[in-house]
Amino acid sequence: MADTVINYESKRILVIEDEVHIRQIICRLLRQIGYRLIDEASDGSEGFKTLLRVQPDVILCDVHMEPVNGIAFLRKLRGLSQPKYASQPVIFLTGDQESTTVIAAKDLRVDGYLVKPVSLNALKDRIDAVLVR
């Protein structure tokens, strides 16, 4: 199959992660891939406001955050009446491999699930798969 060329510089990514250090690492990896339009939020609530404002192509979201965690964020997102928001691609980046979390994420139609620490190649491959859909 022919490789689809993705113009990373034109794609907007929202990173929702409560730990500043981890968020910086993820953003650095995204810049290495070629992304330039990167927005950040520290929890699901801030992420939701940012998402409505910037309309990203892909959302990378941690699962365990306070006060609004990734599952609650995704549940709220999927419940929206506007399809352009409700169908936003969301990839979870988490240290959580518990089956209950994975099942909850799948039930909410998460688009990807990466376990931290995430590698550059795994991150790129997962986002590419979502973008070419």
User: What does the domain layout of the chain look like in residue ranges?
Assistant: 8-131
pLDDT at 1: 42
Residues contacting residue 91 through CB under 8 Å, at least 6 positions apart: 58, 59, 60, 61, 110, 111, 112, 113, 114, 126, 127, 130
Mean pLDDT, the chain, integer: 94
Around Cβ 89, how many Cβ atoms within 10 Å?
18
Report the percentage of the chain scoring pLDDT > 90.
Answer: 90
What's the whole-number mean pLDDT along residues 35-57? 97
pLDDT at 124 over 70: yes
pLDDT at 55: 94
pTM for the predicted model, two decimal places: 0.95
Q: The CATH number of 8-131 is which of 3.20.20.70, 3.30.70.20, 3.40.50.300, 3.40.50.2300?
A: 3.40.50.2300
Alpha helices in the chain (DSSP H): 20-33, 44-54, 70-78, 83-86, 99-107, 120-131
- The pairing of strands 58-61 and 90-94 is parallel
pLDDT at 3: 62
